[in-house]
Structure 1
Amino acid sequence: MELPERNVAFLLHDVARLMRKRFEQNARDLGLTRSQCQVLAHLARNEGIQQSGLADILEVEPITLTRLLDRLEEMGLVERRAHPTDRRIRQLHLTDKAPPLLGEIFAVGAVTRGEALEGVSEEDRDRLFAILSSMKGNLLGRLTTNAGDRRASNG
């Protein structure tokens, strides 16, 4: 039996959890939760996205995202705009007030990553990134393959 401390999945989970917790500590002065920061960061990369698409990216329930967006809209950071051709669709956009805050969010993220990687050589950082990227690619390939296999066997 593999011990939890030698299990890569347990370790990855713990590191991710601790990085989220440390980000929250470092971001305390921003007046935003980690979840709100995450919404803003993803919205900056996907300006004009529909709410359902952003919920998929964030892997949260649409109602959870609605509450986060309501709060961010109240803060004047996000706005929902009508789609140009389909009035049922609302697209999400950052307001002019968001970019300076995003700069601070990204800076806090950089500080947090720096703390996590303190004492890790550049060579080891590169190797870690390459290994994690390979793992991600392996899993994405299997997810895609397995989903296709299931569709083919159900068809």
Structure 2
Amino acid sequence: MNGRAGKGAAASLFFDRVADACPSKSAVEQNSCVCPLKVVAFVHYRLNHALEDPRQPRIGAAAISMKAVRTASGECSMPAKKKAPPHPVETVGLDVLEDTLSFYIRSINIALSRDLDHRLEGLDVARGTGKITTLLLVDSHPGIRPSVIAQLILRDRSAMGRLVDQMIDHDLVTRRNAPDDGRAQELHITEKGADLARKVREIATKQSSDFFAGVPEEDQERLLDILRRVYRRTLGLDQ
């Protein structure tokens, strides 16, 4: 057996040992086992086939201990486990926010808004702060002025103007000059807006009922009373 043939046989024998030790022999045969075994096999092949200097020592396949091969196989078949985050969400304290009412109100508002946007998907009032309130107030209070709605939804004049413009563009409301004051404007619902208002009332009522289904009705009424009083005080309506 010439030198090159001997090298080839050695490499072949080594690959056989690798395949026998690997948990997925077919993966080695198909050259798809991306693991330490494949790397070791490649290095062995290069040492025995690519080095042309006869003075360099040859590493025979028999010199590769099966213990080392099995160790490499174990490393291939047992990927490193992902380390758990240092602070799992279940164990994180909220610092001073734990006893801060405003934190819970803001967080619940985000969840409520997302849920309501999902239920209103495809309607002209979806994904827009203030649109629902404006639509319902115009429908239930014909001729209401934008400035009154702006106060109730905590919007400044320019923001309220843009909101009304959007609703006019969608043919939900109309804007007219007040008969008793030419400088003031009044809002009136359109037929399309009235139809949408009926749908929104049903969706909003059901959403609130579904979202707080796990809270006893008595607690809901108590919470509603507290928030209603805080809201009116914030707007200066109880002074």
Q: TM-score band (shorter)? A: 0.7 to 0.9
Partner of 1:6: 99
- The change in CA–CA distance for 1:136 and 1:79 in structure 2 (over 3 A counts) is same
Q: In the TM superposition, what is the alpha-carbon distance from 1:109 to its structure 2 partner?
A: 0.9
In 2: Cα distance, 1:100 partner to 1:144 partner: 31
Aligned counterpart for 1:31 among listed residues 98, 105, 124: 124
**Match for residue 166 of structure 2?**
71
Classify 1:144/1:93 alpha carbon distance in 2 versus 1 (closer, same or farther; 3 Å). closer
Q: What are the residue-to-residue correspondences of 1:1-155 with 2, within 5 Å?
A: 3-33=96-126, 34-35=128-129, 36-133=131-228, 136=230, 140=233
- Find the counterpart in structure 1 of residue 91 from structure 2: none
Work out the CA distance in 1 between the residues paired with 2:186 and 2:201.
Answer: 23
Q: Secondary structure at the match of 1:128?
A: helix
Q: What amino acid sits opposite 1:112 in the alignment? A: Q
**Same amino acid, percent of matched pairs:** 23
The aligned amino acid for 1:71 is Q
Normalising by structure 1, we get a TM-score of 0.76
Once residues 183 and 217 of structure 2 are traced to their aligned partners in structure 1, the CA distance between those partners, rounded to angstroms, is: 49
Relative contact order higher in (CA < 8 Å, ≥ 6 apart) = 1
Match for 2:230: what amino acid?
K
Q: Secondary structure at the match of 1:91?
A: strand
State the shift of 1:75 in Å: 1.7
Once the two structures are superposed, residues 5-49 of structure 1 have per-residue CA deviations (whole angstroms, 9 ceiling, x without a partner) of: 332221122112221221111111213233322321232343212
Q: Structure 1 residues 8 and 68 mapped into 2: Cα distance closer, same or farther (>3 Å)?
A: same
| Structure 2 segments unaligned to the other structure (5+ residues) | 1-94
Post-superposition shift, 1:106? 1.3
Contact conserved, 2:124 with 2:170, CA < 8 A, in 1? no
Task: Return structure 1 stretches of 4+ with deviation > 3 angstroms.
Answer: 130-133
Task: Quote the offset at 1:117 in angstroms.
Answer: 0.5
Matched AA of 1:27: L
Distance 2:178 2:210 in 1: 42
Compute the RMSD of aligned alpha carbons.
2.8
Q: 1:37 to 1:90 in 2, by over 3 A?
A: same
Q: Structure 1 pair 118/89, CA: closer, same or farther in 2 (3 Å)? A: same
Secondary structure at the counterpart of residue 182 of structure 2: coil
**How many residues get paired?**
143
Q: Deviations over 1:65-98 (max 9, x none)?
A: 2122112112211111121122222211111221
**1:32 maps to amino acid:** V
Partners of 1:130 and 1:48 in 2: CA distance: 29
Q: Tell me which structure has the larger Cα radius of gyration.
A: 2
Q: Normalising to structure 2: TM-score of the pair?
A: 0.52
Aligned counterparts of 1:110 and 1:122: Cα–Cα separation in 2: 14
Q: After superposition, what is the alpha-carbon deviation per residue over 1:52-71, rounded to whole angstroms, capped at 9, x for unaligned?
A: 22212221121112122112
